[in-house]
């Protein structure tokens, strides 16, 4: 195959790619730019891929590796992840292996022999191993399909993740100029991109950049009031903590001490939580990480040391109890939630003293001035985000150079817009309190002065005689603290020594009345009401109605994972189990239509899954499972036949692939249309305000649209929008306008179908 692909050739490649995607991985469609990347690389071209975490980078090189003759060589610095990745590939019948320092000399020899004999489809290699002349010589003798350079930003000295070995990967274009190279990363700034192109010899190669939006993540930021209790309320109400079926999540704290304390406190509250920070022994850290990967509902309380190389797709929430240092840090950390595309939450609380602390730390750091300036700008961007009264996702994406034209409908600001009011006069009062007390007192003292409190300190300083004394009595302490925090966050006040606040040059115009100050009022709803609201929002990814079956499937999955010594999500992802729980398939045929159930997995687990589904329906006991041999027991030769056919080139109809892959039930597979949705799938919990019939029909419509477009359901429209629709029951396009998340683009794309669905539900 050559780089210049004729149109007809491309079509053929596309068809073969789709057929591999369906038969091996069980997915119906590529996401976004995946299809273009796969075509380019499979046809022998180079590519640079910039995609956010969870975007689906792996398939971009895995599918082309199966389409091209030879083995795909994947260079990755994350040795700890290689075993999981190889396990996951073997589960779908791909012949995968890795070469790194964890292998015994004998293990290395085995893999090398398989490589040269052409018995591998994919080989993961650590960079230091790849650079050995022994390995390079082997590769020169072996049939190689392509080189994929994962975490390609590690070539750049500018980033935090620079790896010297990555800097030497220029050896690849030198020694193997005719083989395609695809570089992949989630870090996209211009300088890094230039370095990647330069080191890997990719100038002129097409660059594929995806949107960095993560629509399934709900961003929320709140004022810190009692952080531990706020956290507990949140994970109990929305992530099932303490119920035995809780979600996995990460809680980030700034210091080791607060990590320890928070973890301990959660444990005393009956929440399954472990600490993780650099002060623990390697053994303790490994244990925490292993438990996190291999158990279902564990919460890790950690410093930022935790996360790099965590590939767990079903992290349902990331909570920040302290402010990250930059927007980049925040986005990277929150990005660990919801790789599987299911609804997830990025939750953060912060308060005035956090803002003062991080600003002061930055100010006092020993870094050179220009580095400090850059870091200060990054922190300011984060603080602006925190104080935003507009859609959080729009602020985030704008920072990363993208535009989101409409508010997202899935962040706290969109869901319950804060009130914004002119607070110029109050801002002037607060600023003048700082100035008149000599720009050296902290927020507590300034608040006392504003409220006219006759404290000992006020008296000792003579501040009761200032004209500002008591001018702020019209507001309560919380309002003043909120205002001071916003003034610090937005740069009108700077944090000096001993927590002292001083007016900055920026405040001059405000003091003179030349500019105005808009204040964001904190959400004022009482706590109980807020909790009820979030419970109503139903953040859990599975409807209450389908929850028992979902849990039963998780239990079954855990058992199978333990037997094989792999993490549960390698067997099936939560997204796949969720669809199964909603669909309640009664046959292998229907089960095979579920995303993530490829030929090999259908063969290995299909019968058992159907038993679990039937068992839950009450007609039979799940103990009657007739167990089939596992993938591991059978070896991995099964799919080789399929791959062999595909590699031979030419057009393969999905039917052919499917038939050879799914040997257990060819007849049933061909048997025709099982209804896509069982009656169960339309069940829904009734809601006070929303019409359950309409909600169920909309949910079904959403699945249909998701299938048609290849977007995950949340991209079509989020739950909050669905519920608003079910409550409002719009009968015309015009009635759709103004509903949360219903911008013009969505109305244009799906409006008519939504109105249709509502009318049908109401008629029926
Ligand atoms: P990244 O490496 O970019 O962080 P992954 O390659 O791990 O992302 O993919 C994230 C998740 O999305 C995985 O669970 C993967 O199976 C799923 N995924 C990727 N592409 C598709 C697709 N075309 N259809 C369905 N699921 C997909
Ligand atoms: Zn929003």
pLDDT value of position 680: 35
The Cα 508–Cα 292 span in angstroms is 51
Q: Which residues line ligand 1 (CB under 6 A)?
A: 27, 30-31, 34, 51, 53-59, 313, 339-340, 573, 595
SS3 507: helix
Separation of 58 CA from ligand 1 center, angstroms? Answer: 7
The Cα 483–Cα 490 span in angstroms is 10
Q: Give the model confidence (pLDDT) of 318-346 as tens digits.
A: 999 999 988 888 998 999 999 888 999 99
Q: Give the model confidence (pLDDT) of 100-146 as tens digits.
A: 999 999 999 999 999 999 999 999 999 999 999 999 999 999 999 99
- Beta carbons of 451 and 473 less than 8 angstroms apart: yes
Ligand 1 atom at minimal distance to the Cα of residue 58: 6
Q: Give the model confidence (pLDDT) of 386-416 as tens digits.
A: 998 889 999 999 888 888 988 999 999 999 8
Buried residues in 680-693 as b, exposed as e (16+ CB within 10 A):
bbbbbeeeeebbeb
Angle between helical axes of 599-617 and 547-564 (0-180°, round to 10): 130
Token pair of 472 as six digits = 């702020």
Pocket test for ligand 1, best of 58, 124, 570 (most atoms within 8 A of CB): 58
Buried residues in 134-159 as b, exposed as e (16+ CB within 10 A):
ebeebbeebebbbbbbbbbbbbbeeb
User: Order of strands across the sheet with 96-99?
Assistant: 96-99, 122-125, 71-75, 144-149, 181-185, 47-50, 207-209
Dihedral sign (CA 233, 235, 239, 240):
negative
Token pair of 75 as six digits = 């260079």
The Cα 188–Cα 183 span in angstroms is 12
* β-strands 299-302, 273-276 pairing: parallel
DSSP-derived letter for residue 343 is: -
> Using CA positions, which residue lies closest to atom 9 of ligand 1?
56
pTM of the entire structure?
0.73
Ligand 1 atom at minimal distance to the Cα of residue 60: 6
pLDDT value of position 236: 92
The Cα 547–Cα 697 span in angstroms is 19
- Beta carbons of 255 and 301 less than 8 angstroms apart: no
Q: Give the model confidence (pLDDT) of 23-33 as tens digits.
A: 999 999 999 89
Q: Which ligand is nearest to the CA of 408?
A: 2
DSSP-derived letter for residue 23 is: I
> Using CA positions, which residue lies closest to atom 26 of ligand 1?
27
Ligand 1 atom at minimal distance to the Cα of residue 186: 3
Distance in angstroms between the alpha carbons of the first and the last residue of the chain: 55
Q: Which residues on adjacent β-strands are paired with residue 209?
A: 50
> Furthest-apart CA pair in the chain: how many Å?
92
pLDDT grade for 559, boundaries at 50, 70 and 90:
very high
> Using CA positions, which residue lies closest to atom 17 of ligand 1?
56
Pocket test for ligand 1, best of 56, 183, 314, 568 (most atoms within 8 A of CB): 56
Q: Could you give phi then psi for residue 250, rounded to 5 degrees?
A: -120, 135
The alpha carbon torsion through 495, 499, 502, 506 (nearest 10 deg) reads: 20
Rounded average pLDDT over 10-26: 93
pLDDT surpassing 80 at residue 580: yes
Separation of 26 CA from ligand 1 center, angstroms? Answer: 12
Rounded average pLDDT over 416-440: 93
Q: Give the model confidence (pLDDT) of 410-420 as tens digits.
A: 999 999 888 88
Rounded average pLDDT over 300-309: 83
pLDDT value of position 309: 67
Ligand 1 atom at minimal distance to the Cα of residue 29: 23
Q: Which ligand is nearest to the CA of 392?
A: 2
pLDDT surpassing 60 at residue 667: no
The Cα 693–Cα 764 span in angstroms is 9
Report the 3 state secondary structure along 368-400: CHHHHHHHHHHHHHHHHHHHCCCCHHHHHHHHC
pLDDT surpassing 70 at residue 724: yes
> Using CA positions, which residue lies closest to atom 2 of ligand 1?
57
Token pair of 72 as six digits = 């795909």
Q: Could you give phi then psi for residue 363, rounded to 5 degrees?
A: -60, -40
Set out the domains of the chain in order of their start, with CATH numbers. Answer: 2-209 (3.40.50.300), 217-417 (3.40.50.300), 419-523 (1.10.10.10), 536-671 (1.10.150.80), 692-763 (1.10.150.80)
Separation of 341 CA from ligand 2 center, angstroms? Answer: 17
Token pair of 238 as six digits = 């929305």
The Cα 422–Cα 80 span in angstroms is 53
Ligand 1 atom at minimal distance to the Cα of residue 51: 3
């Amino acid at each position: 195959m050559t780089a210049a692909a004729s149109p007809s050739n491309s079509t053929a490649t596309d068809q073969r790619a789709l057929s591999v995607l369906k038969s091996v991985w069980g997915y119906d469609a590529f996401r976004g730019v995946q299809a273009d990347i796969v075509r380019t690389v499979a046809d022998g071209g180079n590519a640079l891929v910039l995609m956010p975490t969870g975007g689906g980078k792996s398939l971009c090189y895995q599918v082309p590796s199966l389409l091209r003759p030879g083995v795909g060589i994947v260079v990755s610095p994350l040795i700890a992840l290689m075993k999981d990745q190889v396990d996951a590939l073997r589960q779908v019948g791909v012949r995968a292996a890795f070469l790194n320092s964890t292998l015994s000399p004998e293990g290395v020899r085995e893999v090398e022999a398989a490589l040269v004999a052409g018995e591998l489809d994919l080989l993961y290699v650590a960079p230091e191993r790849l650079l050995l002349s022994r390995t390079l010589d082997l590769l020169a003798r072996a049939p190689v399909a392509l080189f994929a350079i994962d975490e390609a930003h590690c070539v750049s000295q500018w980033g935090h993740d620079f790896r010297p070995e990555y800097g030497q990967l220029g050896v690849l274009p030198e020694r193997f100029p005719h083989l395609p190279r695809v570089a992949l990363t989630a870090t996209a700034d211009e300088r890094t991109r230039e370095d990647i192109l330069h080191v890997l010899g990719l100038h002129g190669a097409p660059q594929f950049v995806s949107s960095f939006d993560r629509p399934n993540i709900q961003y929320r930021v709140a004022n810190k009031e009692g952080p531990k209790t706020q956290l507990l309320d949140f994970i109990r109400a929305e992530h099932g903590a303490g119920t035995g079926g809780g979600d996995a999540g990460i809680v980030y704290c700034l210091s080791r001490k607060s990590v320890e304390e928070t973890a301990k406190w959660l444990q005393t509250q009956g929440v399954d939580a472990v600490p993780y920070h650099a002060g623990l022994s390697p053994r303790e850290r490994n244990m925490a990480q292993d438990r996190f990967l291999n158990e279902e509902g564990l919460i890790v309380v950690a410093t930022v040391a935790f996360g790099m190389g965590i590939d767990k797709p079903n992290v349902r929430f990331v909570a920040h109890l302290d402010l990250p240092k930059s927007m980049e840090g925040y986005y990277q950390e929150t990005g660990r939630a919801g790789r599987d595309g299911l609804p997830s939450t990025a939750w953060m609380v912060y308060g005035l003293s956090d803002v003062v602390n991080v600003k002061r730390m930055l100010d006092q750091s020993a870094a050179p001035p220009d580095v400090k300036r850059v870091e200060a700008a990054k922190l300011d961007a984060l603080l602006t985000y925190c104080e935003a009264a507009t859609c959080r996702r729009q602020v985030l994406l704008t920072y990363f150079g993208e535009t989101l034209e409409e508010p997202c409908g899935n962040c706290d600001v969109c869901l319950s817009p804060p009130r914004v009011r002119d607070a110029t006069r109050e801002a002037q009062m607060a600023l003048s309190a700082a100035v008149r007390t000599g720009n050296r007192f902290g927020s507590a003292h300034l608040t006392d002065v504003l409220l006219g409190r006759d404290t000992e300190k006020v008296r000792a300083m003579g501040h009761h005689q200032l004209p500002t004394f008591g001018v702020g009595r019209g507001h309560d302490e919380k309002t003043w603290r909120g205002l001071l925090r916003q003034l610090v966050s937005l740069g009108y006040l700077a944090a000096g020594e001993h927590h002292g606040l001083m007016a900055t040059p920026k405040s001059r115009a405000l003091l003179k009345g030349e500019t105005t100050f808009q204040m964001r009022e904190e959400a004022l709803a009482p706590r109980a009401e807020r909790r009820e609201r979030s419970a109503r929002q139903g953040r859990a990814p599975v409807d209450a109605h389908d929850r028992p079956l979902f849990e039963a499937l998780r239990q079954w999955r855990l058992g199978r994972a333990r037997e094989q010594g792999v993490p549960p999500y390698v067997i099936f992802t939560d997204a796949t189990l969720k669809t199964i729980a909603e669909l309640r398939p009664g046959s292998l045929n229907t089960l095979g239509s579920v995303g993530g159930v490829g030929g090999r997995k259908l063969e290995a687990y299909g019968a058992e899954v159907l038993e679990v589904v039937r068992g839950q329906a009450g007609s039979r006991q799940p103990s009657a499972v007739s167990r089939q041999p596992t993938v591991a027991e059978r070896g991995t030769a099964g799919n080789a036949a399929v791959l062999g056919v595909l590699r031979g080139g030419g057009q393969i109809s999905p039917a052919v692939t499917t038939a050879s892959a799914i040997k257990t039930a060819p007849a049933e597979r061909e048997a025709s249309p099982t209804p896509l949705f069982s009656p169960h799938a339309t069940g829904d919990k009734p809601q006070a305000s929303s019409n359950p019939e309409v909600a169920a029909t909309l949910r079904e419509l959403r699945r249909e649209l998701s299938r048609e477009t290849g977007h995950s359901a949340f991209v079509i429209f989020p739950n909050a929008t669905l519920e608003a629709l079910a409550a409002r029951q719009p009968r015309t396009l015009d009635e759709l306008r103004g509903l949360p998340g219903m911008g013009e683009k969505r109305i244009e794309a799906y409006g008519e179908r939504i109105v249709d669905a509502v009318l049908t539900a109401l008629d029926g």
